[in-house]
């Protein structure tokens, strides 16, 4: 097979992933190990199906960019500001301590100071991709451990920028990296960030609005991707971290009505690219180096992970993480991150490291990434039980001291904000019940946003949109869209994926109502109740008192509802339906005799 | 009988008349509006048929929701000094409303919860206006009683109050 053509390579990657990841997930190892294993298998040091690791890795780094964009989307500027303490304090302390201790230790093993500094800087960083993936898979993001991990990772992503800037000064070769004077590149950076802020704040939303109006889904996806890629390219052009730029763009869009749709669109790309990234890490594991110096490598990996974990535990304690939270935090960030590859690559180019040292360090980094999923497993088996009592993980998810990234617990999701959903929404709003609106009409969403309501653009039939609207934690879903097929499809979807989420549905007419009744969903026939009100007005015009008219109509309504329910059960049996209808008519006639004939007012007698 | 009484009341100019079964068929009272109307008034006349020795349910609901804690009582003085009167039509004849009669109690006795309601709010209860014995009423007698009712309302408007009612 020609594995050098693009299609050939894609086939290799995808088949390796499709085989390895499910196996790994089945064995309880999580997806990351699966990707890594797939990479080792197909890489130049494994079966050799793929030879050029660097290219892929470069491309796959984009998965990290998309990941940070998505993380940004969940953090609006206000929340980010709230997290400034943990980010700067905890993150700064962790990076500084790890770098300093490691540098001294490495100097002790005989490396030059320059090598020691660069190596330890790289080692102080953890893998955003691995740590967040593992924490998310275990639903630990909303816990204090998850939040602290996130803050520290964010700081590390920022810290890479100055680190990359100092590499040239550590090199023996002349600093040949950039041609610009420092102040020019600083100016460029500030300009680029300003551009992102302006575009994100003021330009993107109008464009999305226009695109949403065309109702062409793929245009929306295309523009979402374009946005992230363009910002990443801009950041790279001025020498800033692509991931950081994407994160910034995400934060700026976190408040926008298109947040959910963006999440939904970008998520699959992120998933695949991040998978590719892990595969490329697996591919870079050089078994020759490993076989040549197995003990040294093992020692280096063990020492690096141990030292990182030790510093993290100390820092975690210092910020107030307790017991098990602290352990999770320490383990989650104990590996060395993907930015180390970048730093060491640059170090190699600029002559800080010789090729042998570089290969050794890169291998150490890759293997350290492999350890984390196993450490998490060991933790589940041996450490967690000591902290038990609080459920399987020893942590109550959502019991975060700091605010969880998203709080939509107990909200009512209103799918379809037309004339129908509006009424429901306004009443809930006036009661202070938190509501989340979903609609596929950008004009409606615009309107809602003007009134400061949380509202998101998207197709409610999409499982991922429901996920990101918080369907797992919502109190109720109101299906108020006017298209019945959408109502049915969404109802089925929700029953399957969120069996605990109660629903209230809108039905066009009687036959639609049957189907919903048979699904056990409380249903409101949209025109039925306005018909009742009209009948009441007519009765009043005909001379009935308001109270009597209301009671008559209410009685009719109740009768019809119960008939409808009875008919729903027989919806397929025509004969039974006909006799039921006949019975119903007679019952109704009796029922609808006015109060007079029912003998209520003929009670002048009997009191003496 | 209620209809005749209402027609009579409508003849008297300058009264504020509220038909609660017309205004609130779904039994949700507009408390603020009712309180505002009460604040304007000097006399409150509750005109209603006698239902199970009391007022009909919606009128009870009206009292329950309009006479708010802190507004009408418990520190509230919105109704203080105003007059309270009931105009009642009943199925049973007058002679049925006494100890030896069919209903054992006089209407005044049966109206004690209302009387105490007035006291609690600092209101002054007046003698009720009664039409009793619905069956025995003829068109003529009914018109006559309705005329008396209109006259009574006319006097109330002018501040000429009938005797106070007290079963204390
Ligand atoms: C539900 C109900 C309860 C009644 N309770 C009494 C009662 O306790 N004592 C009484 O004398 N008449 C009672 N009546 C008779 C009404 O008071 C009488 O029908 C009414 O005052 C006549 O007014 P109208 O001609 O405007 O309907 C009752 C009537 C109804 C419908």
CA distance A224 to A204: 10
Q: Is the pLDDT of residue A530 over 90?
A: yes
Cβ neighbors of A127 (< 8 A, separation 6 or more) are: A335, A336, A337, A338, A369, A372
Residues A519, A591 share a domain: no
State how far Cα A130 lies from the chain centre: 15
**pLDDT class for B14, splitting at 50, 70, 90?**
very high
Residue where a domain terminates, one of A526, A561, A578: A526
Minimum-distance CB partner of B25 among A550, A604, A606? A550
What is the rounded distance in angstroms from the CA atom of residue A325 to the CA atom of residue A590? 69
| Residue A417 in this model has a pLDDT that exceeds 50 | yes
Q: What is the pLDDT of residue B41?
A: 96
Q: Report the distance separating Cα B134 and Cα B3, nearest Å.
A: 13
Q: Does A40 map to a domain?
A: yes
Q: What is the DSSP letter of A337?
A: -
Strands B124-125 and A523-525: unpaired
Pocket test for ligand 1, best of B134, B143, B146 (most atoms within 8 A of CB): B134
Pairwise CA distance, residues A235 & A301, whole Å? 33
Residue A499 lies in domain: 412-526
Percent of residues in chain B assigned helix, strand, coil, to nearest 5: 45, 15, 40
Report d(CA A539, CA A533) in Å as an integer: 10
Residues of B at the A interface, defined by Cβ within 8 angstroms: 21-23, 25-26, 50, 58, 90-93, 95-97, 101-103, 134-135
pLDDT of residue B85: 97
Q: Is A607 in the pocket of ligand 1 (CB under 6 A)?
A: yes
Tell whether A148 and A279 lie within a shared domain.
yes
Q: What is the pLDDT of residue A335?
A: 94
CA A566, CA A21: separation in Å to the nearest integer? 50
A243/A359: higher pLDDT: A359
> What is the arithmetic mean of pLDDT over A348-370?
86
Q: Are residues A460 and A559 in the same domain?
A: no
Closest chain A residue by Cα to residue B25: A547
The count of C-alpha atoms lying within 13 angstroms of the C-alpha of A572, restricted to the half-sphere facing its C-beta, is: 1
Whether residue A396 is predicted with pLDDT greater than 60 in this model: the reply is: no
Q: How confident is the model at residue B32 (pLDDT cuts 50, 70, 90)?
A: very high
Specify the higher pLDDT residue, B167 or B84: B84
CATH number, domain of A447, equals 3.40.50.720
β A435-439/A503-507 pair status: unpaired
Please tell me the predicted confidence (pLDDT) of residue A108: 87
Q: What pLDDT score does A186 carry?
A: 77
Q: Do B96 and A550 touch (CB under 8 A)?
A: no
CB A465 within 8 A of CB A491: no
Average pLDDT over residues B148-155: 96
| Four-point Cα dihedral A277, A280, A281, A285, nearest 10 | 180
CA distance B46 to A142: 61
Min Cα distance A500 → chain B (Å) is: 34
Residues of B in contact with A547 (CB under 8 A): 21-22, 25, 58
**Residue numbers in B near A550 (CB within 8 A):** 25-26
Residues 6+ apart with CB under 8 A from A144: A321, A325, A400, A401, A402
CB distance B1 to ligand 1 below 6 Å: yes
Measuring CA to CA, which residue among A145, A138, A143 is closest to residue A30? A138
Pairing of strands B43-49, A523-525: unpaired
Average pLDDT, chain A: 83
Contact A607 B26 (CB under 8 A): no
Look at residue B8 and tell me if it is in a domain: yes
Residue A290: pLDDT over 90: no
Q: Are β-strands A455-457 and A435-439 bridged in parallel, bridged antiparallel, or unpaired? A: parallel
pLDDT at res. B49: 96
Q: Give the range among A5-9, A401-405, B37-41 with minimum mean pLDDT.
A: A401-405
Residue contact A551–B102, C-beta within 8 A? no
Whether the pLDDT of residue A391 is over 60: the answer is: no
- Residue A544 pLDDT greater than 80, yes or no: yes
Q: Is residue A6 part of a domain?
A: yes
Specify if A485 maps to a domain: yes
Indicate the Cα dihedral angle A552, A557, A562, A564, nearest 10°. 140
How large is the average pLDDT for residues B11-33? 94
- A101 and A307 in contact (C-beta within 8 Å)? yes
Whether residue B116 is predicted with pLDDT greater than 90 in this model: the reply is yes
Cβ contacts of A2 within 8 Å, gap of 6 or more: A8
Percent over 90 (pLDDT), chain A: 24
Q: Residue A607 and residue B95: Cβ atoms within 8 Å?
A: no
Q: How many domains, chain A?
A: 4
- Taking a C-beta distance cutoff of 8 angstroms, is the pair A480, A442 a contact? no
A501, A526, A551: which is the final residue of a domain?
A526
3 state SS of B7: helix
Q: Are residues A161 and A130 in the same domain?
A: yes
Q: What is the pLDDT of residue A404?
A: 29
Closest residue in chain A to residue B90, using alpha carbons only? A604
> Rounded to an integer, what distance in angstroms lies between the CA atom of residue B64 and that of residue B87?
19
pLDDT score of A412 more than 70: yes
Residues 6+ apart with CB under 8 A from B140: none
Here the ipTM equals: 0.84
Do A147 and A41 share a domain, yes or no?
no
**What is the average per-residue pLDDT within A267-273?**
86
Same domain for A522 and A533, yes or no, is no
Q: What is the pLDDT of residue A605?
A: 83
| Cα B1 to ligand 1 centre (Å) | 10
Evaluate: CB of B23 within 6 angstroms of ligand 1: no
Q: Are residues A372 and A422 in the same domain?
A: no
Pair (A44, A63) in one structural domain: no
Is A297 inside a domain boundary? yes
The number of domains in chain B is: 1
pLDDT, residue A600, reads: 55
Would you say A360 and A300 are in contact if contact means Cβ atoms under 8 Å apart?
yes
What value does the mean pLDDT take over residues A241-256? 83
- The answer on A186 and A93 residing in a single domain is yes
Residues A329, A331, A332, A338, Cα dihedral to 10°: 130
- Cα–Cα distance for residue pair A364/A387, rounded to 1 Å: 32
Contact yes or no for B23 and A551 at CB 8 A: no
Range of the domain at B38: 2-157
pLDDT at residue A402 tops 60: no
Which residues make Cβ contacts (< 8 Å) with residue A477, sequence separation at least 6?
Answer: A412, A413, A415, A471, A494, A501, A502, A503, A504
CB atoms B58 and A547 under 8 Å = yes
pLDDT digits (tens, 9 = 90+) for A567-588: 888 877 888 888 888 888 888 8
C-alpha A269, offset from chain centre:
13
Residue of B nearest to A605 (CA): B91
Query: For a pLDDT cut of 70, what percent of chain A falls above it?
Result: 92
Greatest mean pLDDT among A288-292, A296-300, A345-349, B151-155 lies in B151-155
- Indicate whether A401 pLDDT > 60: no
Measured from the CB, is residue A605 less than 6 Å from ligand 1? Answer: no
Residue A172 lies in a domain: yes
Q: Is residue B92 part of a domain?
A: yes
Confidence at residue A311, expressed as pLDDT on a 0 to 100 scale: 95
Same domain, A382 and A494: no
- Taking CB atoms and an 8 Å cutoff, what residues of chain B touch A603? 91
| pLDDT tens per residue across span A130-174 | 888 788 777 787 788 888 998 899 888 878 877 877 887 776 544
Which stretches within A432-545 are classed as H helix?
A: 442-450, 463-468, 484-497, 510-518, 528-541
Q: How far, in Å, is the centroid of ligand 1 from the Cα of B57?
A: 13
Judge whether B164 lies within some domain.
Answer: no
The preferred substitution site among A600, A602, A607 for testing ligand 1, maximizing ligand atoms within 8 Å of CB, is A607
- Asked if A608 and B135 come within 8 Å (Cβ–Cβ), the reply is no
Q: Check if B52 has its Cβ closer than 6 Å to any atom of ligand 1.
A: yes
Are the beta carbons of A25 and A31 closer than 8 angstroms?
yes
Question: What is the structure's pLDDT at A419?
Answer: 87
Asked if the structure places residue B168 within a domain, the reply is no
Partners of B130 on chain A (C-beta within 8 Å) are: none
Q: Could you tell me if residue A174 is inside a domain?
A: yes
Name the packing angle between helices A204-214 and A442-450 (round to 10°): 140
What pTM did the predictor assign?
0.57
| Closest to A32 in 3D by CA, of A263, A270, A274, A267 | A274
Q: What's the pLDDT score for residue A454?
A: 76
Write down the mean pLDDT value for chain B: 95
Residue of A122 and A67 predicted with greater confidence: A122
The answer to the question of residue A396 being in a domain is no
Do residue B134 and residue A604 have CB atoms under 8 angstroms apart? yes
Residue A506's SS3 state is strand
B50 lines ligand 1 (CB under 6 A): yes
Write out pLDDT tens, residues A441-470.
877 777 777 777 777 888 888 887 888 788
Domain-located, residue A393: no
Residue B152 lies in a domain: yes
DSSP-based helix, strand, coil % in chain A, nearest 5 = 70, 5, 25
Neighbours of B162 (CB within 10 A): 14
Beta carbon of A600 within 6 Å of any ligand 1 atom: yes
pLDDT above 60 (res A178)? no
Q: Check residues B71 and A600 and name the one with the higher pLDDT.
A: B71
Q: Are residues A80 and A96 in the same domain?
A: yes
**Mean pLDDT value across residues B74-101:** 95
Whether A29 shows a pLDDT value over 80: the answer reads no
Q: Are A166 and A102 in contact (CB under 8 A)?
A: no
Same domain assignment for residues A2 and A89: no
Q: What one-character-per-residue DSSP string does A170-234 give?
A: HSSS---S--S-HHHHHHHHHHHHHHHHHIIIIIHHHHHHHHHHHT-HHHHHHHHHHHHHHHHHH
Q: Which of A526, A542, A576 is the last residue of a domain?
A: A526
Whole-number pLDDT of residue A166: 82
CATH number of the domain where residue B88 is located = 3.40.50.360
């Amino acid at each position: 097979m020609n594995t050098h053509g693009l299609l050939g390579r894609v086939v290799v990657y995808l088949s390796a992933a499709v085989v390895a990841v499910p196996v790994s997930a089945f064995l309880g190892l999580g997806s990351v190990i699966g990707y890594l294993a797939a990479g080792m298998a197909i890489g130049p040091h494994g079966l050799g199906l793929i030879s050029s690791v660097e290219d892929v890795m470069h491309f796959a780094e984009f998965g990290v960019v998309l990941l940070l964009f998505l993380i940004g989307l969940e953090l609006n500027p206000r929340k980010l500001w709230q997290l400034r303490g943990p980010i700067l304090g905890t993150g700064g302390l962790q990076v500084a301590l790890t770098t300093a201790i490691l540098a001294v230790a490495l100097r002790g093993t005989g490396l030059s100071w320059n090598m020691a500094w660069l190596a330890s800087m790289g080692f102080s960083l953890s893998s955003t991709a691995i740590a967040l993936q593992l924490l998310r898979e275990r639903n630990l993001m909303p816990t204090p451990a998850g939040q602290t991990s996130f803050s520290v990772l964010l700081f590390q992503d920022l810290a890479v920028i100055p680190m990359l800037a100092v590499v040239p000064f550590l090199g023996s070769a002349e600093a040949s990296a950039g041609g610009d004077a420092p102040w020019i590149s600083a100016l460029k950076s500030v300009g680029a960030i300003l551009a992102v802020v302006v575009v994100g704040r003021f330009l993107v939303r109008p464009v999305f609005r226009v695109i949403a109006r065309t109702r062409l889904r793929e245009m929306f996806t295309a523009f979402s991707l374009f946005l992230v890629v363009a910002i990443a390219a801009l950041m790279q052009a001025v020498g800033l971290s692509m991931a950081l730029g994407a994160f910034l763009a995400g934060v700026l869009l976190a408040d926008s009505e298109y947040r959910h749709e963006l999440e939904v669109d970008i998520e699959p790309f992120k998933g695949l690219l991040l998978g590719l990234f892990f595969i490329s890490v697996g591919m870079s594991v050089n078994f020759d180096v490993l076989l040549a110096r197995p003990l040294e490598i093992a020692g280096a990996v063990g020492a690096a992970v141990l030292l990182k974990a030790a510093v993290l535990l100390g820092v975690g304690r210092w910020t107030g993480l307790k017991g098990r939270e602290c352990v999770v935090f320490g383990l989650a960030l104990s590996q060395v991150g993907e930015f180390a590859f970048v730093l060491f690559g640059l170090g190699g180019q600029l002559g800080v490291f010789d090729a042998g040292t570089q290969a050794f360090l890169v291998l150490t980094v890759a293997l350290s990434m492999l350890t984390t999923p196993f450490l998490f497993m060991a933790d589940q088996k041996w450490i967690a039980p000591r902290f038990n009592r609080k459920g399987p993980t020893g942590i109550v998810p959502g019991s975060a001291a700091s605010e969880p990234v998203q709080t939509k617990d107990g909200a009512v999701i209103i799918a379809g904000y037309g004339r129908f959903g509006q009424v429901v929404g306004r009443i809930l709003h006036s009661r202070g019940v938190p509501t989340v609106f979903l609609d596929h009409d950008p004009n409606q969403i615009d309107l809602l946003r003007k009134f400061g309501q949380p509202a998101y653009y998207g197709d409610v039939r999409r499982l991922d949109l429901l996920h990101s609207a918080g369907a797992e934690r919502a109190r109720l879903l109101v299906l108020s869209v006017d298209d019945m097929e959408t109502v049915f499809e969404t109802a089925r979807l929700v029953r399957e994926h969120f069996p605990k989420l109660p629903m209230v549905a809108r039905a066009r007419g009687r036959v639609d109502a049957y189907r919903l009744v048979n699904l056990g969903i409380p249903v409101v026939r949209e025109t039925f109740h306005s018909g009742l009100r009209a009948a009441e007005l007519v009765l009043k015009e005909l001379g009935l008192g308001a109270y009597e008219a209301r009671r008559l109509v209410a009685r009719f309504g109740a009768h019809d509802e119960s008939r409808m329910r009875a008919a729903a059960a027989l919806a397929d049996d025509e004969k039974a339906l006909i006799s039921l209808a006949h019975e119903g008519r007679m019952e109704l006639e009796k029922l609808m005799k006015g109060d007079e004939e029912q003998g209520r007012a003929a009670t002048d007698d009997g009191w003496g | 009988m209620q209809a005749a009484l209402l027609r009579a009341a409508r003849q008297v100019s300058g009264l504020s008349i509220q038909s609660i079964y017309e205004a609130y068929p779904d039994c949700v009272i507009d408390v603020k509006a009712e309180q505002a109307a009460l604040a304007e008034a000097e006399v409150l006349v509750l005109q209603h048929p006698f239902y199970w020795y009391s007022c009909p349910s919606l009128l009870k609901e009206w009292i329950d929701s309009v006479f708010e804690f802190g507004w009408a009582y418990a520190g509230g003085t919105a109704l203080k000094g105003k007059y309270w009167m009931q105009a009642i039509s009943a199925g049973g004849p007058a002679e049925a409303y006494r100890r030896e009669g069919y209903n054992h109690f006089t209407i005044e006795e049966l109206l004690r919860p209302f009387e105490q309601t007035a006291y609690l709010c600092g209101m002054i209860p007046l003698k009720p206006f009664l039409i009793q014995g619905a069956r025995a009423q003829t068109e003529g007698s009914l018109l006559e009683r309705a005329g008396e009712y209109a006259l009574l309302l006319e006097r109330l408007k002018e501040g000429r109050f009938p005797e106070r009612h007290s079963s204390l």
